[in-house]
Structure 1
Amino acid sequence: MVDKPVAVVAGVGSGTGEALVKRFAEGGYRVAMIARKAERLERIAGEISEASAYPCDMSDIETFRATLTRIKKELGPIKIAIHNGARAVRDHYTKIDPLEFESTFRVNTTALLVLAQEVGPDMVEMGDCAILVTGNTGAWRGKPHFTGFAPSKSAQRILAEALARELGPQGVHVAFITIDAAIDIWWVRERRGPDFPEDQFAKPADIAGECFHIAHQPKSTWSFNVELRPFNENW
């Protein structure tokens, strides 16, 4: 029996992250889940037999690196790596703590570099592998009240592009996926309020389905910048 390939989802929340785990498990992968909240990971692992929990704070770079090393040792080389972690500081620019600001770069940008360092060489050797990065419109423009988030997401996008240009010719597909939408998660619904149009929420399962598709694009038609939004999203 051939072992199933390994996918890593770094950043597993109750929305997109959990949906990614489900979709890749359904698609024939053993999925390693990385997130701070061990309870959530254990719950998902109890529901999905092919999912394994690896609790880790991605802002602790050396612990994150050690976690990736452990995954490779326990599950084998990683075929698909998804950076879905995000950290934001939501405050007026005059009130942002510089240390908190720097922490957004550790999770959103530096952790992506570490992920690529740990999986890239094996992926080049294996071939037919992918690194996906989930982002949002903060990667493309700065707006009021996004001072504590957009800079690190923009840096993340440029890092992903540099990796794509370097690893692509070596057979590793790197893609940056901009989710320009209110994602259908309970806390987003609370923030948007009862009058927000139901069909303007992006469904986590649909986002995960598109990510699975992008991870398996034929080499003759690879995407890098991918934008996902509901049909009625104003852009």
Structure 2
Amino acid sequence: MADKPLAIVAGAGPGLGAALLQKFSDEGMMAVGLTRSGGTGPHDIRACDLCDEKALRATLAPLMQKHGAPQIVVHNTAHLVIQDFLETSLDDFTACWRSMVQSAIMLGQCVLQPMVRDGGGTFIVSGATASLRGGAKFAAFASAKFALRGLTQSLARSFQPAGVHVVHTILDGIIDTPASRDLHSLDPQRMIKPDDLAAAYWALAHQPKSTWSHEVDFRPQTESF
């Protein structure tokens, strides 16, 4: 079995996903990202449909055979739909649910029991402001994020006694990427820095067992709430 412990980032796009892979790699882990299309560049990003159980198991099985069960798993997928409720199709709702909830179910079913067998680890699920509040034009997105939060609560109560630290994060703000700067025209100082957030996720994964957090919110100092 390889020396480096395994970290999985499901939904490893630019921004937080890339920052997590960099942070985990810098800390000496075998960091692997999963996205539908794969990727190129400095990080190990593999193409995988996270909603396809067979494809996901086929991707994860050789990694876990070589490195053992992952010590850190981050579920970081998103499918954003912003439109009036009456214009939002059932397909829009289904796409949000599949991207954020079904993918978390498939990921958890693949990794949580192996993590228990190997002595534990940390499973972090990225939520959003919409995990707590359904805004106008966010019916599809918020309903899926609400479901994801409930799923994560259930996983925490199921697996924390077995040694897996399950955490739901609420990202209350816009993550600073070139695309988000163009879309939102915000002052970068009012945005969440991906590297800072990756460091916060690393800290969550290393909380002492006597002080485990289940839900943590992160927002820029300038963000109202």
Q: What range describes the TM-score normalised by the shorter chain of this pair?
A: over 0.9
Question: Which residue pairs with 2:214 in the alignment?
Answer: 224
Instruction: Decide whether aligned partners of structure 1 residues 88 and 60 sit closer, same or farther in structure 2, where only a CA change above 3 A counts.
Output: farther
The Cα shift of 1:42 comes to 2.1
The counterpart of 2:40, out of the listed 39, 42, 49, is 42
Q: Which runs of 5+ in 2 are unaligned?
A: none
Task: Give 1:157's aligned residue.
Answer: 149
Identity among equivalent pairs (%): 35
Q: TM-score scaled to structure 2, two decimals?
A: 0.94
Aligned amino acid, residue 187 of structure 2: P
CA distance in structure 2 between the aligned counterparts of 1:197 and 1:93, rounded to whole angstroms: 30
The equivalent of 2:6 in structure 1 is 6
Partner of 1:22: 22
Q: Distance in 1 between matches of 2:18 and 2:173?
A: 17
Q: Tell me the distance in 1 between the aligned counterparts of 2:79 and 2:61.
A: 23
* 2:68/2:118 contact within 8 Å kept: no
Alignment partner of 1:107 out of 73, 89, 99: 99
Length, aligned pairs only: 225
What is the CA-CA distance between 1:71 and the residue it aligns to?
Answer: 3.0
Task: Give 1:72's aligned residue.
Answer: 64
- Does the aligned pair in 2 maintain the 1:32–1:71 contact within 8 Å? no
Q: Distance in 2 between matches of 1:171 and 1:192?
A: 40
Match of 2:194 among 190, 200, 204: 204
Q: How many angstroms does 1:177 deviate by?
A: 0.8
Residue of structure 1 in register with 2:173 after alignment = 181
Aligned 8 A contact 1:42 1:53 in 2 = yes
Residue in 2 aligned with 1:213? 203
Which position in structure 2 is the counterpart of 1:49? Answer: none
1:61 Cα deviation (Å)?
A: 4.4
Contact 1:35 1:55 in 2 (8 A): yes
Task: Kindly provide the amino acid, as one letter, of the partner of residue 33 in structure 2.
Answer: M
Q: Give the equivalent residue in structure 2 for 1:63.
A: 55
Q: What amino acid is aligned across from residue 21 of structure 1 in structure 2?
A: L
1:137/1:180 contact within 8 Å kept: yes
| Residue aligned with 1:8, SS | strand
Runs in 1 of length 4+ with deviation above 6 angstroms?
Answer: none
Code of the residue aligned with 1:72 in structure 2: it is M
Residue 164 of structure 2, aligned match among 168, 172, 186: 172
Q: Check the 8 A contact 1:59/1:103 in 2, yes or no.
A: no
Equivalent pair of 2:52/2:106 in contact (CA under 8 Å): no
